[in-house]
Amino acid sequence: MNELSDGEREEIIAAIRQGRMLPARYRASLFEDVPETELIWPGKTSEVERVVLPFQSIEHIDEPRAETVVRPNLFSLDDSTGRQVGGWTNKLIWGDNKLILSSLINGPLRNEIENAGGLKLVFIDPPFDVGANFQVEVEIGDENVTKHASAIEEIAYRDTWGRGRDSFATMLYERIRLIFDLLAPGGSLFLHLDWRTSSLGRLILDEVFGAQSIRNEIVWCYYGPSSPGQRHFNRKHDTIWWYTKPGSDWTFDRDRARMPYHESTASKWESEGTGFGGEAPDFSKGKIAEDWWSDIPIAARRRTELTGYPTQKPEKLLERIIESCSNDGELVADFFSGSGTTAAVAEKLGRKWIAADLGRFAIHTTRKRLIEVQRRLAEEDKPYRAFEILNLGSYERQYFAGISSNLSDEERRVESANRREQFFSLVLQAYGGKRSEQWSDFHGVKDSACVFIGPLDAPITQSDVRRAVTAAKKHGITRVDVLGFEFEMGIKPAMVDEARDEGLTLTLRYIPNDVFDRRAIAKGQVKFFDVGYVDVSVTQDRKSTVRVELKDFGVFYAQEDADAAAAGLKPGGSRVVIDGGQVVRVSRDKKGKVKKELLTKSWIDWIDYWSVDFDFESQEEIIAFDDEGEVKEVWTGRYIFENQWQDFRTREDRALKKSSAPHTYDTPGEYKIAVKVVDVFGNDTTKVVKVKVK
């Protein structure tokens, strides 16, 4: 306070008396422990997410080993199946990474992380502020089709960090603070950004880690064409900031960070004998890489790695980071996982890993990629770990998109209630229904059906559906429509069959993104489509050996109305759209005549992946939670899908088997077989059938 002038003191006193906020420039003079570097922006808060939500295991994946190979200090294997039964299991987590990080830090899984040696390295590649692109090119039959972002991805981007630098800074700051808490002492964080937000990332890292914790500013240079009429130098580099958490020495293996000398360097040494302090270097060993990397091309130039993600990073980039800054068997993580490059490289290099992403399609892409890695390592007789797909279960988000963090708790509750009411009314209007006070367990009615609507920014869970079914039976309702942007992995069409057996017509439908377009609502153009279905048959080759065959699969997607697309075409133009569960090429010839060509030839064109659990309900899903300092475990009433066989399409091989490999049971009895089908957009449908083995 002593360095303040009389005029500054009067300004502060006047601001307090008038109830105004103090100017930010007085922070260092008025408060203790002010960070040496600090950014101030509207909406910044010192609060850190502390919610603890239980992780639920959706699926367990482990390619069986052909033979039991001893892997000391890694994990144990089942003698009969060759599958991993002990040790660390890698984690692929679907959900909001802020809630995931908070639950990892403060929940029971933190102990598992610490027992695995702690989190030693994190690489993150967040969306770069404005211009984030969640669209992905997918193949359906012989065609490439653009998969639009899911509503949850769009909302997360648009309303959480896509509203300019302030919202992006808030998003990044909150997650870096959580990552800092989760990292082990001496652990490394690598933050990848481009020219839009690189300087902002540096200042946030200085504030959270401390300016003294920076190890490198790495400039990743690459090449590419310029744009016609460009009025600036070609932007062909990104920045990777490397910071380490104080408290212990960090890992850096200079020999694993070496790269070849330029071929001219050796000849220069031979001719001049200078430049290396008088001692000839070991040219075969290579040199330690500089902090500018120009030897790693972008992923688009490595066709064998491509997954369809526009921002995918090359594996060589992650190899250099993970190899040089972590050790064999240590735990690394990526909380903006995308196509799963970090996890794939970590698995190949013998590291444990955690990968998380908000997008269901990203989780599906990573699942396929990791299975391919497991298969290659198995062929080379190298160790690999099982991994499990987790999510945060049935939860209600504690905040809603677009609600200011500056509001009081009471104001936030009021605003949340208003947002929910607006959202439900909007969906019902688009669906052709209306709000009703008669049934408190439902959000509205349409004709003779009660309508249950899932949340704005989270998937509908099995618990949600069961709650709606229970309420309908209680009130004698015979028809329920359940609407949601996304449905939890593992939602079973069998629930529809069970409801039908009890006299209830249950319909599960997706809410399209068009629900936010009031013009489309006014014109009655918003179409809700049903969750997909699958039909299978099981044959017994011998009494104890079975084989599963796909018989039919149906989806009802509509990303764009074919007639509306045709109306917007110029003469000679064409577009490929998805309408009513079909891929259609719409074209308009030079005379203005419109033509529609059906491109999907068979139901199997929609299937990207399918897998079988031959003994479903053998593995109960147990969740752990903290109860006043004591970890308790409870059965959720659900079962983990044990992925025992699978087939899927790759970019190199688009073929797909319709029949599984045979499976032989060791013990007679009645078994449940679960078949999971994942379509080209990453949405899954599960069918459970019974088989009796003698």
Q: Say whether pLDDT at 193 is over 90.
A: yes
Q: Does domain 56-225+233-251+290-391 have CATH number 3.30.70.890?
A: no
What pLDDT, on a 0 to 100 scale, did the predictor assign at position 80?
A: 63
pLDDT at residue 275, rounded to an integer: 55
pLDDT of residue 402: 43
* Among the listed residues 243, 242, 218, 250, the one whose alpha carbon sits nearest the alpha carbon of residue 327: 250
The token duo for 353 is: 């890993």
Percent of the chain whose predicted confidence (pLDDT) is above 70: 80
CA distance 467 to 496: 13
Burial class of 40 by CB neighbour count within 10 A (0 to 12, 13 to 18, 19+): exposed
Supply the pLDDT for residue 662: 93
pLDDT of residue 209: 95
Return the residue matching tokens 């004591």: 630
Which residue type occupies 416?
A: S
Kindly report, residue by residue over 76-128, the tens digit of the pLDDT.
666 666 677 778 999 999 888 998 999 999 988 999 999 999 999 999 999 76
Among 4-13, 260-269, 297-306, name the one with the lowest average pLDDT: 297-306
Lowest mean pLDDT among 135-144, 236-245, 325-334, 358-367: 135-144
Would the pLDDT of 405 be above 60? no
For residue 24, give every residue at least 6 positions away whose Cβ sits within 8 Å of its Cβ, in sequence order, or none.
40
**CB under 8 Å, gap of 24 or more: what pairs does 369-373 form?**
369/307, 369/339, 369/340, 369/343, 369/344, 370/61, 370/90, 370/92, 370/340, 370/343, 370/344, 371/61, 371/63, 371/646, 371/648, 372/650, 373/344, 373/347, 373/348
Nearest-angstrom CA–CA distance, 649 and 654: 5
| Distance, CA of 568 to CA of 137 (rounded, Å) | 22
Task: Annotate 50-78 with DSSP letters as a single string.
Answer: ------EEEEEE-PPPSS----TTT--B-
pLDDT attached to residue 328: 93
Q: Which of 19-28, 288-297, 492-501, 554-563 has the highest mean pLDDT?
A: 288-297
Cα–chain-centroid distance for residue 393?
15
Q: How far apart are CA 82 and CA 76, in angstroms?
A: 9
pLDDT at 174 (0 to 100): 92
Residue 20 pLDDT exceeds 70: yes
246-287 pLDDT tens trace: 999 999 998 898 888 877 777 776 666 555 556 677 777 888
CA dist., res. 679 & res. 685, Å (int): 8
Over range 511-516, report the average pLDDT: 74
Q: Binning pLDDT at 50, 70 and 90, where does residue 546 land?
A: very high
> Are 458 and 397 a contacting pair, CB within 8 Å?
yes
Q: Which of 688, 679, 683, 677 is nearest to 510 (CA)?
A: 683
The residue extents of the domains of the chain are 56-225+233-251+290-391
308, with CB counted inside 10 A (0-12, 13-18, 19+), is: middle
Q: Produce one character per residue of 560-572: b if its CB has 16 or more CB atoms within 10 Å, e if not.
A: bbbeebbeebeee
Summarize pLDDT for 619-677 with one digit per residue, the tens: 888 888 777 677 788 887 788 899 999 999 987 888 999 999 999 998 899 999 999 99
DSSP for residue 620:
E
| 661 DSSP assignment | P
Residue 48 has pLDDT above 90, yes or no: no
User: Count of CB atoms within 10 A of residue 271's CB?
Assistant: 8
Task: Read off the pLDDT of each residue in 469-491 and give the average, rounded to a whole number.
Answer: 85
Question: What residues does 357 pair with on adjacent strands?
Answer: 94
Q: What is the mean pLDDT of the chain?
A: 82
User: DSSP of 296-314, one letter per residue?
Assistant: ---GGG-GGG--S-TTPPP
DSSP state of 481: E
Q: Who contacts 20 (Cβ-Cβ below 8 Å, separation ≥6)?
A: none
User: Helix or strand or coil: residue 42?
Assistant: coil
**Alpha-carbon torsion angle 189, 190, 193, 198, nearest 10:** 60
